[in-house]
């Protein structure tokens, strides 16, 4: 090989993988990418994944890479993968993924907020409010207001030992728990509320959660 | 060094002032030196219920603003030999005439001379409430078996729990036996589970509470009255005795009643 390749193309089961060298200058890499894309003798439409390795690309650079690849009518970017993220993004992810525990009673007029998931050990009394960007789990009676997925996460759920809330909110969908509502049960024990694909909040047994939202489980280890 | 206890409820009309008057009297009957403070500036009542209205010369605001000494403003209840005193609220100004720091100083001063300082708190959660709780070591929350009173009690307990005072204790006032036994009002258990704080005692509703208040003579003076027994029991619990809780469904269970209860289980 006379010249080091900055862009390597590999075929995998999921389609093409474009590995972009992370040691060279960005301009050299993008120039080679442009060349490769142009003289590619592809037929039909191919999905490509981009691996940027240890190079951190900001929004604009990512856009440029995307545009370069989309310059060929045969290629479509399905995913961009990188081994690095900024500290800021990392901190945000940590916050979002952590679970905060509140032990005590959320009484009337009090608000408890979490950046990620929220676990309340105790009751949430009427007019008490619990808000989380992630899911809310109440080990006790939820009799107040619960807002899960407050940043717009529609996959968030609200689970409680006793689900007797006055208002349930998931992402931006609110449901007032009035008598007319057919989803309410006589014994609201061990239940969870989630956003149904039909756009409304639905309530089911706690045990159904593993089927409804398998992605929520963050458990690692054990056997 | 005495102990300052604030009596509060959030909602108005649940019996804070009546409870303050009766608990103060009951503690004085037990031989303790008690000082009652009415912090409901602008809407004072405690003096009337104790029958001390005509003896007022100075009030709380006079003391705070330095127009008189505390001892001059305290009204002595002559029925108790140096056992019960009242510091009346001012009637001509409002709650903003006093701030929490001033109350704290005043109560610290009074604690040197009295075993118990009972602070009668005004309704609401504004300035008057903040003043009333500022000097307190302990808090008693009064509620009635009504959903609105219980909701407000919950709010108040939340505010009290954020303060630097002991966890509040609960008094359920004005219990009507037949309503509670028929399930037409919240029962004692429902309320204590909902609020999750310790129950200090219950007071049965009784007409004599009103008539004796009107006469300026707290009902607790009548040892046979059911409400008076409730207040006396609470006073003994404050003093550290363990007194069993009064039964709400008393009077229903004769032999046949018990038999019926067994079969209806």
Distance between CA B223 and CA B218 in Å, rounded? Answer: 11
Q: A107 vs B161: CB contact, 8 Å cut-off?
A: yes
pLDDT at B37: 97
- Residue B134 tokens, joined: 């500022």
Closest residue in A to B152 (Cα) is A108
Chain A: give the shortest CA distance to residue B193, in Å: 10
Partners of residue A105 in chain B, C-beta under 8 Å: 158, 196
- Name residue A112's beta-bridge partners: A130
- Residue A122 tokens, joined: 């105790």
Question: Is the CB of B192 inside 8 Å of chain A's CB atoms?
Answer: no
pLDDT at A8: 87
Burial of A38 (0-12, 13-18, 19+ CB in 10 A): exposed
- Residue B147 tokens, joined: 């959903």
pLDDT in tens, A33-43: 888 887 766 66
B23 close to B116: Cβ distance less than 8 angstroms? no
Q: What is the average pLDDT score of chain B?
A: 93
Q: What is the average pLDDT score of chain A?
A: 89
pLDDT at A77: 87
pLDDT at A1: 45
Question: Is the CB of B155 inside 8 Å of chain A's CB atoms?
Answer: yes
Distance between CA B170 and CA B196 in Å, rounded? Answer: 10
Chain A: give the shortest CA distance to residue B163, in Å: 14
Least confident window among A80-89, B211-220, B223-232: A80-89
- CA-atom Rg of chain B in angstroms: 19
What are the residue ranges of CATH 3.30.750 in chain A? 7-81
* Interface probe with A: pick from B155, B159, B162, B186, most Cβ of A within 10 Å: B155
Burial of A213 (0-12, 13-18, 19+ CB in 10 A): middle
Helix (H) or strand (E) holding B201: strand B198-204
Q: Where would I find the beta strands (DSSP E) of A13-116?
A: 15-20, 46-51, 75-81, 99-103, 111-114
pLDDT in tens, B129-179: 999 999 999 999 999 999 999 999 999 999 999 999 999 999 999 999 999
Q: What is the CATH number of the domain that holds B12?
A: 3.40.50.300
Return contacts of B58-67, CB within 8 angstroms, 24+ apart.
B59/B87, B59/B88, B59/B89, B59/B90, B59/B91, B60/B87, B60/B88, B60/B89, B60/B90, B60/B98, B61/B89, B61/B90, B61/B93, B61/B97, B61/B98, B62/B90, B63/B87, B63/B106, B64/B97, B64/B98, B64/B102, B64/B106, B65/B97
pLDDT in tens, B216-242: 999 999 999 999 999 999 999 999 999
Distance between CA B27 and CA B77 in Å, rounded? Answer: 13
Partners of residue B152 in chain A, C-beta under 8 Å: 108
B10 close to B155: Cβ distance less than 8 angstroms? yes
Using alpha carbons, select from B167, B173, B201 the residue that is nearest to residue B186. B173
A122 close to A102: Cβ distance less than 8 angstroms? yes
Range of the domain at B228: 3-263
CATH classification number, A7-81, choose in 3.30.750, 3.30.950, 3.40.50, 3.10.20: 3.30.750
pLDDT in tens, A154-204: 999 999 999 999 999 999 999 998 877 777 778 899 999 999 999 999 999
B255 pLDDT above the threshold of 90: no
Mean pLDDT of B12-23: 96
- Residue B235 tokens, joined: 């006073």
CATH classification number, A91-216, choose in 2.60.40.10, 2.160.20.70, 1.10.357.10, 3.30.70.1350: 2.160.20.70
**Number of structural domains chain B divides into:** 1
- Residue A187 tokens, joined: 């014994």
A10 pLDDT above the threshold of 90: no
B130 close to B165: Cβ distance less than 8 angstroms? no
Partners of residue B159 in chain A, C-beta under 8 Å: 109
* Interface probe with A: pick from B141, B146, B158, B192, most Cβ of A within 10 Å: B158
B251 pLDDT above the threshold of 60: no
Mean pLDDT of B106-127: 96
């Amino acid at each position: 090989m006379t010249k080091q390749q900055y862009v390597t193309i590999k075929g995998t089961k999921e389609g093409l993988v474009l590995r972009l060298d992370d040691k060279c200058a960005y301009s050299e890499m993008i120039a080679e990418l442009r060349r490769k894309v142009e003289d590619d003798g592809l037929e039909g439409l191919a999905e490509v994944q981009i691996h940027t390795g240890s190079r951190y690309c900001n929004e604009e650079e990512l856009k440029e890479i995307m545009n370069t690849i989309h310059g060929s009518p045969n290629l479509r970017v399905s995913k961009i993968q990188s081994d690095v993220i900024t500290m800021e993004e990392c901190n945000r992810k940590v916050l979002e993924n952590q679970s905060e525990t509140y032990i005590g009673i959320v009484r009337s007029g009090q608000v408890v907020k979490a950046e990620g998931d929220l676990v309340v050990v105790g009751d949430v009394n009427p007019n008490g409010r619990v808000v989380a960007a992630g899911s809310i789990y109440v080990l006790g009676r939820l009799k107040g207001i619960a807002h899960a997925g407050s940043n717009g996460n529609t996959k968030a759920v609200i689970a409680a030992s006793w689900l007797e809330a006055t208002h349930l909110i998931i992402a931006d969908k609110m449901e007032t728990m009035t008598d007319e509502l057919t989803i309410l049960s006589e014994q609201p024990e061990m239940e969870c509320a989630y956003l149904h694909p039909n756009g409304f909040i639905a309530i089911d047994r706690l045990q159904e959660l593993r089927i409804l939202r398998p992605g929520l489980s963050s458990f690692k280890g054990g056997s | 060094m005495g102990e300052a206890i604030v009596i509060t409820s959030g909602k108005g009309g649940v019996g804070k002032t009546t409870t303050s008057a009766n608990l103060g009297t009951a503690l004085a009957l037990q031989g303790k030196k008690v000082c009652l403070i009415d912090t409901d500036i602008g809407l004072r009542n405690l003096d009337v219920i104790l029958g001390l209205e005509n003896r007022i010369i100075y009030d709380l605001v006079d003391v705070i603003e330095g127009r008189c000494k505390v001892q001059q403003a305290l009204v002595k209840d002559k029925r108790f030999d140096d056992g019960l005193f009242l510091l009346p609220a001012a009637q001509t100004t409002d709650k903003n005439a006093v701030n929490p720091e001033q109350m704290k100083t005043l109560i610290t001063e009074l604690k040197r001379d009295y075993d118990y300082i009972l602070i009668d708190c005004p309704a609401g959660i504004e300035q008057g409430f903040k003043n009333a709780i500022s000097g307190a070591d302990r808090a008693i929350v009064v509620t009635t078996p009504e959903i609105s009173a219980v909701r407000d009690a919950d709010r108040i307990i939340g505010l009290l729990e954020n303060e630097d005072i002991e966890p509040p204790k609960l008094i359920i006032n004005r219990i009507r036996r037949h309503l509670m036994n028929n399930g037409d009002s919240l029962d004692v258990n429902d309320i204590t589970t909902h609020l999750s704080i310790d129950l200090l005692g219950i007071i049965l509703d009784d007409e004599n509470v009103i008539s004796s208040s009107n006469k300026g003579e707290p009902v607790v003076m009548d040892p046979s009255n059911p409400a008076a027994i409730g207040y006396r029991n609470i006073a003994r619990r404050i003093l550290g005795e363990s007194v069993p809780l009064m039964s709400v469904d008393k009077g229903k269970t004769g032999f046949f009643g018990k038999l019926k209860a067994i079969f209806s289980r």
